[in-house]
């Protein structure tokens, strides 16, 4: 369970392979919902922390109704990843038929980030 006490719809840990998977279904929620954003930020932080360990592999799943929602959820996760200081790959999509479309991201900590407010080094 994430340290913030939230409960994802799916969380699985494979100790032998060092994989942590967190999944959340978005049947009634929409991108931009503040409660959803806070929960997803918590999941991203948890996954990035896990992935920073040696051999740690972290995966985030978002289950949505269909392909039409994929772009907006992908944009939302990209924005949240930037806000949380995590790095996510391009989503992999799987269509399981009407009403079930799954987006999957690998999650990594953001390493070597230069803050946007930093001034350039003068020589």
**Residue 96 CA to its chain's centroid (Å):** 20
Residue 111: its pLDDT value, please?
62
The CATH number of the structural domain formed by 10-109 is: 3.30.110.10
The 10s digit of each residue's pLDDT in 68-86 is 999 999 999 999 998 888 8
Q: Across the strands, what pairs with 12?
A: 21
User: Residue 1 — pLDDT band, cuts 50, 70, 90?
Assistant: low
Q: Which residue has the tokens 């990843």?
A: 81
The 10s digit of each residue's pLDDT in 99-113 is 899 999 999 887 644
pTM over 0.85: no
C-alpha angle with apex 103: 58 to 29, nearest 5 degrees?
105
Q: Is the pLDDT of residue 21 over 60?
A: yes
Q: For the chain, which residues make up each domain, given as ranges?
A: 10-109
> Which residue, 109, 108, 105, 110, is CA-closest to 23?
105
> Which residue, 58, 85, 60, is CA-closest to 74?
60
């Amino acid at each position: 369970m994430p340290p913030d006490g939230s409960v994802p719809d799916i969380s699985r840990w494979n100790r032998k392979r060092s994989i942590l998977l967190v999944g959340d279904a978005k049947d009634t929620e929409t991108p931009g919902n503040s409660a959803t954003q806070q929960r997803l930020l918590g999941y991203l932080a948890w996954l990035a922390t896990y992935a920073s360990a040696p051999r740690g592999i972290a995966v985030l799943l978002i289950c949505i109704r269909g392909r039409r929602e994929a772009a907006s959820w992908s944009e939302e996760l990209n924005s949240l990843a930037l806000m949380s200081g995590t790095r996510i790959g391009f989503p992999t999509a799987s269509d399981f038929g009407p009403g079930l479309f799954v987006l999957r991201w690998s999650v990594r900590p953001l390493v070597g980030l230069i803050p946007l407010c930093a001034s350039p080094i003068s020589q």
